[in-house]
């Protein structure tokens, strides 16, 4: 809104800066191609932009849902949750810029209020910005609808305020992935798409940067690509990212940038089947797990999970089995990567990470 009182030169300059920042963010949000051109000939790069319409597919991510992004073989989408937080988010942005990679951010409203300039940097550098609630409570699965709505709407309002009133992308990730049907229904009613993930990096588990790279690559190889869940507020993640991106390039993975349809951006043509979660053709990782007295019972569980997966592919396992199957699949990955380790390392609760 224009002010009617007389303004000083400094005020005018500040307002112009604000308008310029907003215009840049708007341009970057609408047209990723307007972001700075890649000047690093050895960069991993962003191979293509995928434009999606949230009203077509409301819930994405094979960790929890039957649909995920329509990616081709060895295509990868990077997503970063919980920020922004200096200096780690700045470092992550530096690395992404150096590698000419575009990512999707799920920002927390309170963090955006604390670091609005960093929100604008993310937008201006051409990344997609979704939201992740106002305060990141770990109670979305048993929260009242009114509170959930306040958290969702508050997060969007805070990020929008940091972007000088521009709306973030209609993409939402539930904190802790603690889904509830009522929350997903509200998000869909608001035209918001619920994002889970395909590939956890485990970077919230206080593991080393080397271990983040190792686990993420192993899972991406197993999935032949997918949507990766990372946290740009973690020091180890910032440390891991250069190595991870170098390895993605060396192994022939390609980065896909996801943006919402709208304005001049028309959704990318896809077939419905491309969104359906496919079960990896690779044999279950449990085959390579070292059998120990502690792991033996778990291996039996994993074999049981494999049978359930087969049955589901045949269409004879119902929805009620999905949650247990997903927990088992996660356990399979962890058990495979930690053969012979004490049981305490594994997460048998079926809880999914933040
Ligand atoms: Zn989170």
Residue 314 belongs to domain spanning: 285-345
Q: CA distances (Å), 76 to each of 226, 336, 339, 349, in order?
A: 5, 22, 27, 28
Question: Where residue 184 sits, what CATH number does that domain have?
Answer: 3.20.20.370
344, pLDDT greater than 50? no
**Is residue 115 among the annotated active site residues?**
no
Do 338 and 253 have their domain in common? no
Which domain-ending residue is among 249, 275, 301? Answer: 275
Do 295 and 154 have their domain in common? no
Is there a domain that residue 352 lies in? no
- 3-class secondary structure, 78: strand
| Distance from residue 175's CA to the centre of ligand 1 (Å) | 5
Is there a domain that residue 3 lies in? no
Q: CA distances (Å), 205 to each of 31, 107, 123, 221, 351, in order?
A: 35, 20, 28, 21, 13
Q: What is the pLDDT of residues 85-137, one digit of tens each?
A: 999 999 999 999 999 999 999 999 999 999 999 999 999 999 999 999 999 99
Phi, psi dihedrals of residue 160, rounded to the nearest 5°: -65, -40
| Distance from residue 131's CA to the centre of ligand 1 (Å) | 10
Q: What is the pLDDT of residues 195-228, one digit of tens each?
A: 999 999 999 998 999 999 999 999 999 999 999 9
pLDDT band at 2; cut points 50, 70, 90: very low
Average pLDDT over residues 22-29: 46
| Distance from residue 292's CA to the centre of ligand 1 (Å) | 34
Is there a domain that residue 53 lies in? yes
- How many Å apart are CA 204 and CA 212, to the nearest integer? 10
Phi, psi dihedrals of residue 225, rounded to the nearest 5°: 115, -170
Do 263 and 339 have their domain in common? no
Do 333 and 265 have their domain in common? no
| Distance from residue 132's CA to the centre of ligand 1 (Å) | 7
Average pLDDT, the chain: 80
**pLDDT at res. 333:** 52
**Is residue 153 among the annotated active site residues?**
no
pLDDT band at 354; cut points 50, 70, 90: very low
Do 92 and 174 have their domain in common? yes
**pLDDT at res. 10:** 43
How many secondary structure helices (H) and strands (E) does the chain include? Answer: 10, 10
**pLDDT at res. 278:** 77
Which domain-ending residue is among 256, 275, 294? Answer: 275
Instruction: Please give the DSSP secondary-structure letter assigned to residue 135.
Output: S
| Distance from residue 169's CA to the centre of ligand 1 (Å) | 17
Catalytic one of 57, 81, 82, 115: 81
| Distance from residue 313's CA to the centre of ligand 1 (Å) | 31
Judged on CB neighbours under 10 Å (0-12, 13-18, 19+), 47 is: middle
Is there a domain that residue 114 lies in? yes
Do 111 and 157 have their domain in common? yes
**pLDDT at res. 126:** 97
Average pLDDT over residues 249-274: 96
- How many Å apart are CA 168 and CA 192, to the nearest integer? 11
Lowest mean pLDDT, pick from 73-82, 271-280, 341-350: 341-350
36, pLDDT greater than 60? yes
**pLDDT at res. 234:** 96
Do 70 and 169 have their domain in common? yes
Q: Helix 145-162 to helix 116-124 angle, to the nearest 10 degrees?
A: 70
Catalytic one of 57, 115, 127, 231: 231
153, pLDDT greater than 50? yes
Please indicate whether residue 163 or residue 31 has the higher confidence score (pLDDT). 163
Q: CA distances (Å), 175 to each of 18, 73, 178, 187, in order?
A: 31, 28, 6, 14
Average pLDDT over residues 148-175: 98
The answer to whether residues 289 and 82 touch, using CB atoms and an 8 Å cutoff, is no
Is there a domain that residue 90 lies in? yes
Do 215 and 340 have their domain in common? no
Average pLDDT over residues 3-11: 38
**pLDDT at res. 250:** 98
Is there a domain that residue 155 lies in? yes
pLDDT band at 279; cut points 50, 70, 90: low
Q: How many domains does the chain have?
A: 2
- How many Å apart are CA 283 and CA 305, to the nearest integer? 12
Do 204 and 266 have their domain in common? yes
Average pLDDT over residues 134-157: 97
**pLDDT at res. 332:** 53
| Distance from residue 112's CA to the centre of ligand 1 (Å) | 14
Nearest to residue 66, comparing CAs of 315, 326, 277?
277
Do 227 and 293 have their domain in common? no
Do 213 and 195 have their domain in common? yes
Which domain-ending residue is among 275, 307, 331? Answer: 275
Do 258 and 218 have their domain in common? yes
Phi, psi dihedrals of residue 204, rounded to the nearest 5°: -90, -5
């Amino acid at each position: 809104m224009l002010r009617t009182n007389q303004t000083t030169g400094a005020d005018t300059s500040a307002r112009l800066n604000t308008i310029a920042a907003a215009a840049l963010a708007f341009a970057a949000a609408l047209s990723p191609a307007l972001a700075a051109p890649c000047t690093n000939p050895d960069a991993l790069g962003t191979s293509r932009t995928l434009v999606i319409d949230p009203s077509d597919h409301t819930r994405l991510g094979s960790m929890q849902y039957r649909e995920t992004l329509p990616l081709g073989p060895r295509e990868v989408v990077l997503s970063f949750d919980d920020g922004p937080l200096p200096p780690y988010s700045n470092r992550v942005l530096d690395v992404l810029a150096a590698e000419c990679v575009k990512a999707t951010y799920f920002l927390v409203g309170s963090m955006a209020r604390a670091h609005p300039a960093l929100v604008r940097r993310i937008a201006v550098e051409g990344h997609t910005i979704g939201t992740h609630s106002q305060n990141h409570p770990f109670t979305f699965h048993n929260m009242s609808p009114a509170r959930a709505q306040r958290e969702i709407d508050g997060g969007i309002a805070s990020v929008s305020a940091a972007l000088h009133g521009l709306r973030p992308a209609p993409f939402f990730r539930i904190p802790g992935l603690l889904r509830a049907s009522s929350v997903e229904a509200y998000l869909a009613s608001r035209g918001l798409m619920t994002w889970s993930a395909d590939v956890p990096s485990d970077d919230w588990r206080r593991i080393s940067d080397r271990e983040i790279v190792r686990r993420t690559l192993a899972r991406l190889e197993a999935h032949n690509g997918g949507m990766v869940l990372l946290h740009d507020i973690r020091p180890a993640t910032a440390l891991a990212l250069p190595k991870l991106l170098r390895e993605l390039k060396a192994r022939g993975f390609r980065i896909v940038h996801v943006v919402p349809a709208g304005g001049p951006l028309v959704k990318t043509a896809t077939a419905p089947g491309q969104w359906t979660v496919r079960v990896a053709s690779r044999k279950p990782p449990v085959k390579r797990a070292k059998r120990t007295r502690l792991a033996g019972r778990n291996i039996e569980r994993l074999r049981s999970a494999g049978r359930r997966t087969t049955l589901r592919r045949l269409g004879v396992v119902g929805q009620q089995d999905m949650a247990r199957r997903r927990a088992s699949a996660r356990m399979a990955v962890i058990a495979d990567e930690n053969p012979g380790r004490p049981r305490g390392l594994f997460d048998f609760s079926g809880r999914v990470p933040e």
